[in-house]
Amino acid sequence: MKKDMTFNRSSILLLAMKSRTFIALLILLVIFSLLAPNFFTLTSLVLVAKHVALYAILSIGMTAVIISGGIDLSVGAIVGLCGIIAGNLILNGMPIDAFGVIIYFSVPIVMLIAAITGMIAGLINGFFISYVNVPPFITTLGTMYIARGIALIYSKGETLPYLVGKDILGNTGFPILGSMQILGLPLAVWIMLIIALITGFIFKKQPLGWHIFAVGGNEHSAELSGVRIKKVKLFVYMLSGFCAAIAGLIATSQLVAAHPATGNSWEMNAIAASVLGGTSMSGGIGTIGGTIVGAFVIGVLNDGMVMLGVSEFWQMIIKGAVIIIAVIVDQFQRNMESKIALKMRNS
């Protein structure tokens, strides 16, 4: 009888830990609704949704990378770089000195160029990690500095303001990406949902998704099973770069201005959202749905603390503590799952 009671308590505790992100979100919503009366206004909720969409898009790419057993510290810098590239193309166009002309692209082409830039940055990360065997931490740390430096050089360290374009140049409409609403939800939220659904489909229904989990679970075994390790890693880092580019475009559109420091430290938010959502830092485990909920926790936490006037320094401390606690709980959950599985086999 005692064994059964202990087993049931362990199962209940395990279920609570699996639902920890959703529980944390509910607690935060209750706390901020009580402490900040304006938190549940329509304006505030729309603002939170915009921020959550940015964190979630960035976190989807990060989740794929972490599941594969890697890490990507460059996403925040890629956000800033892609935003600067888009802003500069809209504001100044592309000069062709040899012919003495300046080419101005339409907004969809500008967005495509920025997205390709993000994917190229991810491709570079994936190449050095897969083919040169440079550790992911070192590779993406270096890429982070390079991307941020290029953004500063490209913009000369200045903000590129008023990115509305001109009718005569055919490059108007960029602010729509950050301001448009469909059925009461910001366009950014719909973009997030589309990326999440496509990525979730790949994870659940496509061999590539299974290979990503296999590589993160046990790279050596995956290789013996015929999984193309290098191509899998190239894909996840290119996906991460693409997601960073989209986040950069949305953030720049919302501000109607580009700044080279945009996205600074956003990689921490992406990692935190992924880990909070149940993605294991050791690789092989994670879900897109969990990551979305984790992004909501980070978004609500950030906006709630701002509304309460919490110092930015304390916000950094709290977010750092959240990451550490999430990893500790994740490790505790994995150990408990192993113990319960062992008990079930022995019984």
Q: What is the pLDDT of residue 15?
A: 63
Distance (Å, whole) CA 174 – CA 158: 20
Residue 342 belongs to some domain of the structure: no
Residue 114 belongs to some domain of the structure: yes
Residue 341 belongs to some domain of the structure: no
Distance (Å, whole) CA 292 – CA 21: 10
Residue 339 belongs to some domain of the structure: no
Q: What is the pLDDT of residue 9?
A: 63
Residue 123 near residue 234 (C-beta atoms within 8 A): yes
Residue 75 near residue 58 (C-beta atoms within 8 A): yes
Q: What is the pLDDT of residue 342?
A: 67
Give the count of domains, the chain.
Answer: 1
Q: Is 14 exposed, middle or buried (0-12, 13-18, 19+ CB in 10 A)?
A: middle
Cα dihedral: 303, 308, 314, 315 (round 10)? 0
36-41 contact pairs (CB < 8 A, 24+) = 36/304, 36/307, 36/308, 38/307, 39/304, 39/307
Per run of 10 residues, the mean pLDDT along the chain (length 347 residues) is 53 64 82 81 81 93 96 96 95 86 93 97 96 95 96 91 90 91 90 96 93 92 91 96 96 93 90 88 89 90 86 82 77 72 66
In 10 A of CB 31, how many CB atoms? Answer: 15
Residue 306 belongs to some domain of the structure: yes
Owning domain of residue 156 = 23-334
Residue 66 belongs to some domain of the structure: yes
Distances (CA, A) of 136 to 26, 181, 229: 34, 38, 14
Reduced to 3 states (helix: H, G, I; strand: E, B; else coil), residue 132 is coil
Q: What is the pLDDT of residue 2?
A: 47
How long, in residues, is the chain?
347
Rounded to 5°, angle at Cα 98 from 92 and 104: 25
pLDDT digits (tens, 9 = 90+) for 160-217: 999 998 889 889 999 999 889 898 889 999 999 999 999 999 999 999 999 999 999 9
- In degrees and rounded to multiples of 5, residue 212 shows phi and psi of -60, -45
In 10 A of CB 175, how many CB atoms? Answer: 18
Residue 10 belongs to some domain of the structure: no
Strands (E), the chain: 94-96, 101-103, 181-182, 185-186
Structure tokens at 79: 């956000």
CATH number at residue 167: 1.10.3470
Q: What is the pLDDT of residue 17?
A: 61
Q: What is the pLDDT of residue 12?
A: 65
Residue 175 belongs to some domain of the structure: yes
Residue 169 near residue 102 (C-beta atoms within 8 A): no
